[in-house]
């Protein structure tokens, strides 16, 4: 990517001390709160180098679910303004969304996903997409070309051109990425190992989507770090 401007995104990131975050950061080998590497789960002790290759692409994004995809700031906007708007948004009252997490392949990678759609979660993602778009600089032509070349539906191209990201609204699916692309014959093997690690490291139960993280990537090849992390105000 030629664009060397900082990028920002709005994520759901579990608290740093939660079992879910300890699992996800260990799988990816990166802590987006501290910017430090994390040892892999014990299930991958015998194939550490291979596992680092499998997770190389998602590692720099940190363990998260995307609610507003990465974007560069408009020249007329400042980081301080974005942080203020982010914190004000989180302070708005909304119903609590929860997911029942499962680990499974999603396309050609493996992720933690919700076992069934959540209307409240879709609304949260849609609000993040539309409200924070006021801060987004237009994408560069080469970024658009790269996205379109990956193979998008007409509705996804419309989303890309209007909102800077294709997988929105009806195409949105909550997911917390655990791997990069894995060839079909090895995908289920990795998924089964990740499920075993998830069962060991994360207790059963639903996950409340009760907080937001504003994250920042200083340059195109850099890793995202948490810039601000705040709870959502939950209303009845």
Among residues 182, 214, 185, 177, which one has the least CA distance to residue 88?
214
| Average pLDDT of adjacent 10-residue blocks, the chain of 236 residues | 82 96 97 96 91 96 97 97 98 92 95 89 96 96 91 93 93 96 93 95 87 96 96 88
Q: DSSP of 100-164, one letter per residue? A: -EEEEEETTEEEEEESS--HHHHHHHHHHHHHGGGGBPPPPHHHHHHHHHTT--HHHHHHHHHHS
What's the pLDDT score for residue 85?
Answer: 98
Please count the other Cβ atoms lying within 10 Å of the Cβ belonging to residue 147. Answer: 18
d(CA 146, CA 2) in angstroms, rounded, equals 12
Name the pairing type of β-strands 36-37 and 30-31: antiparallel
What's the pLDDT score for residue 19?
Answer: 94
What is the value of pTM for the model shown? 0.93
What's the pLDDT score for residue 205?
Answer: 84
What residue ranges define each of the domains in the chain, with the CATH number in brackets? Answer: 7-138+173-229 (3.90.1140.10)
């Amino acid at each position: 990517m030629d664009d060397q401007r900082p990028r920002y995104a709005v994520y759901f990131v579990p608290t740093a001390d939660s079992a879910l975050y300890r699992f996800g950061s260990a799988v990816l080998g990166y802590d987006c709160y501290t910017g430090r590497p994390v040892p892999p789960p014990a299930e991958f002790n015998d194939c550490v180098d291979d596992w680092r290759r499998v997770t190389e692409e998602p590692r720099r994004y940190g363990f998260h679910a995307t609610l507003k995809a990465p974007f560069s700031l408009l020249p007329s906007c400042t980081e301080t303004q974005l942080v203020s708007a982010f914190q004000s948004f989180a302070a708005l009252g909304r119903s609590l969304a929860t997911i029942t997490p499962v680990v499974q392949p999603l396309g050609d990678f493996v992720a933690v996903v919700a076992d069934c759609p959540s209307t409240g979660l879709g609304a949260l993602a849609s609000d993040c997409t539309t409200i924070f778009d006021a801060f987004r600089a237009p994408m560069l032509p080469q970024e658009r070309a790269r996205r379109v070349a990956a193979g998008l539906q007409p509705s996804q191209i419309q989303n890309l051109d209007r909102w800077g990201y294709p997988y929105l609204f009806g195409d949105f699916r909550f997911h917390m990425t655990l791997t990069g692309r894995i060839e079909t014959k090895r995908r289920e093997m990795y998924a089964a190992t990740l499920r075993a690690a998830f069962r060991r490291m994360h207790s059963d139960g639903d996950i409340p989507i009760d907080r937001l993280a504003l994250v920042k990537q200083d340059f195109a090849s850099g890793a995202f770090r948490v810039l601000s992390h705040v709870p959502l105000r939950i209303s009845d």
